[in-house]
Amino acid sequence: MRPGLDTEFFDLPRPRVIAHRGASGDYPENTLPAFGAACTMGAPYFELDVHITRDGEIVVIHDDNLRRVAAHDGLIREMTMAELATVDAGRNFTRDGGRGFPFRGQGIRVPSLAEVFAAFPHQRFILEIKQTSHHLVPAMLAVIDRAKMRRRVLIASEHQEPIDEFRALAPGIPTNLPAREVGLFMMSLGPRAQSYVARGEALQIPPEHQSWKLVSAESVATAHRIGIELQVWTVNGAAEMCEMLALGVDGILTDYPARLLDLLRAS
């Protein structure tokens, strides 16, 4: 871990059960019902995605548009919070391949980050920045500070720019390794490779990418040797969860946190 960190994010026991966009396998992703269900299940960590609206509100949604979740053509960056509040964020959610839409018309909205913090003040959060807007990082940090959540968050992004900006503005808050740094880490594996010095605290990767196995005994051991965690996404099947746990990963992001919790309780 980097010197100067001021965080409670890593205080809980490993492996970390991280509810990916809430309990998003059973509830509309990145919504208050999905987070509420994950909390009831006992997941101590939530992963969520953030964008900024036209009027500067930090909101919790994965895509930059509303087509996938709500069949709406609006772009988040072009909408105000009031306009976003009229959209049915549960419209397209289905558990049965489109035969039924159990949350359609139930008043589920795209929440603000402030709303999520207020509803779940005792959780720990991975906040993934999806935009590279120069306005997002200071506005997001202001929301974190108003909620007094600095010590309970880890900032993540695949983009280098927002992570660099966050590290400069709030060096005490942990971050993940964005895509460029993940690539450098992976290049450091192997007996002839140069050693790698991590600038963040968590390597967050899928089990594999384009048939290249990323999570292995070697990558886990290397992450631990240089003082960072390896957290794997998005793992939903029990067999793959067991495989990842056997390799010694520090956390699993899953759409079905109850499955992972049940496995850990039975072990």
Q: What is the pLDDT of residue 192?
A: 65
Mean model confidence pLDDT for the chain:
96
Residue 267: pLDDT band (50, 70, 90) is confident
Q: Rounded mean pLDDT of 155-172?
A: 98
pLDDT at 1 over 90: no
Please give the average per-residue pLDDT across 58-70, as a whole number: 98
Specify the 3-state DSSP secondary structure of 25: coil
Inter-residue contact 155 to 177 (CB < 8 Å) = no
Fold of 16-266: TIM Barrel (3.20.20)
Q: How far is CA 145 from the centre of its chain?
A: 19
Give CA–CA dist 162/220, Å, rounded: 26
3-class DSSP state of 45? strand
On the question of pLDDT at 5 being above 80, the answer is yes
Question: Which residues on adjacent β-strands are paired with residue 127?
Answer: 48, 155
> Whole-prediction pTM value?
0.97
Asked whether the predicted pLDDT for residue 220 surpasses 90, the reply is: yes
C-alpha to C-alpha distance for 128 and 101, rounded to whole angstroms = 27
- Give the residue extent of every domain in the chain: 16-266
The pLDDT of residue 100 = 97
pLDDT tens-digit map of 95-138? 999 999 999 999 999 999 999 999 999 999 999 999 998 899 99
pLDDT value, residue 211? 84
Q: Using N-to-C axis directions, what is the helix angle for 179-187 and 160-169, rounded to 10°?
A: 100
